[in-house]
Structure 1
Amino acid sequence: MSVALRAVVLESDDPVSLGGFWSAALCSTIGPGVEGVTIPFGEDEQSLLYIVERTRRVTGDENNETPLMHLTASHSLLEEADRLVELGAIIEEEKWVINSSLKVGWFGMADPEGNRFRLLSSDREIAEAERKLQSWS
């Protein structure tokens, strides 16, 4: 048995503007939602990112201590991080597994409204690092 992720919900002061960032980040379309916008994602685009009008005021970083989403780069962690920064994200933290030459790790990032997420190395980068590690032993 398993579960499938069908939706992620973010609250925003400006759902349309933040939806523009996330639709570009996910290379997807943006559509209307009941209280904001929706962005389909995933291979079959059956999962949805809902961005709705913020219902409560947040003071400080109380909702931003732990990343809400973990995203995987499709090709290269560094290239994808650069692309997201060009779209308006910021890099808050950088973590490399073992050493940076393996190109496996993650970036702690925030979208234009400060919603934190983690961008992880691509499956290809991980497989390549595993091959390198095996050759070193």
Structure 2
Amino acid sequence: MSVSLRAVLIESPDPVALGAFWSAALETSIDPGTDGVVIRFGQPPEQLLYIVEGPRPEGPRAGKPCMFLSAVDATLDEESERLVALGAAVIDRKWNVARELNVGYAAMLDPEGNCFHLLSSDEEVRTAERILETW
């Protein structure tokens, strides 16, 4: 079992300006996103930096981005159980479309309280897509 880093999410009062900085820093393009901008970087599979509109972070979590990981050789449930055994905590579970498809993510905290989301594996997503085609 393993995970791969898929994306990092940063809230900013000015996603375009912050996105311009990160696209220059990573020497890559900036694309429009749903709630801000998307910066694609790395080798395939590419990683994503989402910069979304939000208040300037304040307090103990100020400036701490939320990472998005994806299960690789295991299901979302198996991988979240493994990470809990390593010291993480599940704080929420969200399902895409319908719970019986078992595709979604687990919002988690690492042992120091840093947020990350564990996404369903690509295989789980492909299986759900095949099932949805028959509905």
Shift of 1:59: 4.6
Instruction: Report the Cα distance in structure 2 between the residues aligned to 1:61 and 1:4, rounded to whole angstroms.
Output: 25
Tell me what 2:9 maps to.
none
Tell me what 1:100 maps to.
99
- Count of equivalent residues: 86
Instruction: Report the Cα distance in structure 2 between the residues aligned to 1:100 and 1:80, rounded to whole angstroms.
Output: 17
Tell me what 2:76 maps to.
77
Tell me what 1:109 maps to.
108
Structure 1 segments of 4+ aligned residues over 3 angstroms from their partners: 58-64
Aligned residues: percent identity? 42
Instruction: Report the Cα distance in structure 2 between the residues aligned to 1:79 and 1:60, rounded to whole angstroms.
Output: 31
User: Could you say what secondary structure the match of 2:68 adopts?
Assistant: strand
Instruction: Report the Cα distance in structure 1 between the residues aligned to 2:128 and 2:108, rounded to whole angstroms.
Output: 23
User: Could you say what secondary structure the match of 1:107 adopts?
Assistant: strand
- Map 1:15-94 → 2, pairs under 5 A: 59-63=59-63, 67=66, 69-74=67-72, 75-94=74-93
Give CA deviations for 1:51-96 in whole Å, capped at 9, x if unaligned.
xxxxxxx9544345x52x1100012000000000000000111100
Higher RCO (Cα < 8 Å, 6 or more apart): 2
Q: What RMSD in Å do the two structures reach over aligned CA positions?
A: 2.8
Instruction: Report the Cα distance in structure 1 between the residues aligned to 2:98 and 2:62, rounded to whole angstroms.
Output: 32
Query: Where is the strand percentage greater, Structure 1 or Structure 2?
Result: 2
Give CA deviations for 1:89-129 in whole Å, capped at 9, x if unaligned.
00111100012110100011110001111100000000000
Give CA deviations for 1:1-40 in whole Å, capped at 9, x if unaligned.
765349xxxxxxxxxxxxxxxxxxxxxxxxxxxxxxxxxx
Instruction: Report the Cα distance in structure 1 between the residues aligned to 2:41 and 2:61, rounded to whole angstroms.
Output: 29
User: Could you say what secondary structure the match of 2:91 adopts?
Assistant: strand
Amino acid in the other structure paired with 2:107 = G
Instruction: Report the Cα distance in structure 2 between the residues aligned to 1:101 and 1:90, rounded to whole angstroms.
Output: 23
Counterpart of 1:4 (choices 41, 54, 67) is 41
